[in-house]
Each structure stands twice: as structure tokens, then as C-alpha cells.
Amino acid sequence: MAMDFDESRPIWHQLVHEFSRRIVTGEWPPGARIGGVRELAGDLGVNPNTVQRALSELDRDGLCRSERTAGRFVTDDEARINSLRQSLAAGAADDFITQAKGFGIPLADASALLAKRWNHHDDPHRPADETEADDD
């Protein structure tokens, strides 16, 4: 499935983030073979060279490895994957903090909002149209 890309950032950089997300969520589990460059490029609707550049970055970061005759595989290093998971979460937290501060939300209120939304996301059967007032 083709991705929606942000025109303000290089596509290969966005692919590094997407592939990293796939690794930390287990969509690409540790030790799993990653699809070929041309296959991924076709699925994502991008140039194979762009996919190759993103995968090369993952190789450099130790998130995957290439085996000359067998293809490319996700790392088996759980500590490396956990480190990536923490890094991605920290980036998301930084984005939230920047926006919350921009809205003038104090830390205590931002923390309460995060806890409320966290619990909301724990219930996958909760209707999407339920409002915050239902949590109070």
C-alpha cells in the first residue's frame, strides 16, 4: 500500500521512520526476512533507490543485516529494538510536550490528559464517539 508522504521531508527519511515503526511494533519481528527492495518500492509507490537508501540507513543503525544470498533480515538484538522503541516514544513525547506547551497547558493538566487518553486507548471496543466527559 502506497504511503502518504510529507513533501517537506525527504522520502527516504520517512521510510526509515516507517520501517523502524514496523520493527518496534513487531510487524517485522526480530530475525524476520524483509521483503526485497523492488517489492517494497512497488508496495510503497516509490523508487527502489529510495527504499535502498532507507534500508542502508537501518543497516548502519544495526536494525537489520544483509546476507548476500539470503536477503535482508531484522536484527535479533532485542536490546537494540527496545532502544529504538524508547527513542521513537521519546520523539513522540517531545512533539506532545511542544504542542501542549504551545496551547498553554500546565504539566499537571498535560499529565492528566495523557493518563486519560492512555486508558481510553487501552479499550479497543470503546466507541470512537465517546467524549472525554464520559471519563469524568
CA distance 78 to 59: 15
Q: Is 0.75 surpassed by the pTM of this model?
A: yes
Closest CA to 60 of 98, 20, 30: 20
Dihedral class, residue 72 (left if φ above 0, else alpha if ψ from -120 to 50, else beta) = beta
Collapsed DSSP state (helix, strand, coil) of residue 15: helix
Residues constituting the chain? 136
Give the amino acid at 22: R
Q: What is the pLDDT of residue 136?
A: 47
Per-residue pLDDT reduced to its tens digit, 103-116:
999 999 999 999 99
Q: What is the pLDDT of residue 68?
A: 86
Q: What is the pLDDT of residue 119?
A: 85
Percent residues over pLDDT 90 in the chain: 76
Per-residue pLDDT reduced to its tens digit, 53-107:
999 999 999 999 998 889 999 999 999 999 999 999 999 999 999 999 999 999 9
- Contact present, 14 and 25 (Cβ < 8 Å): no
pLDDT mean over 117-124: 78
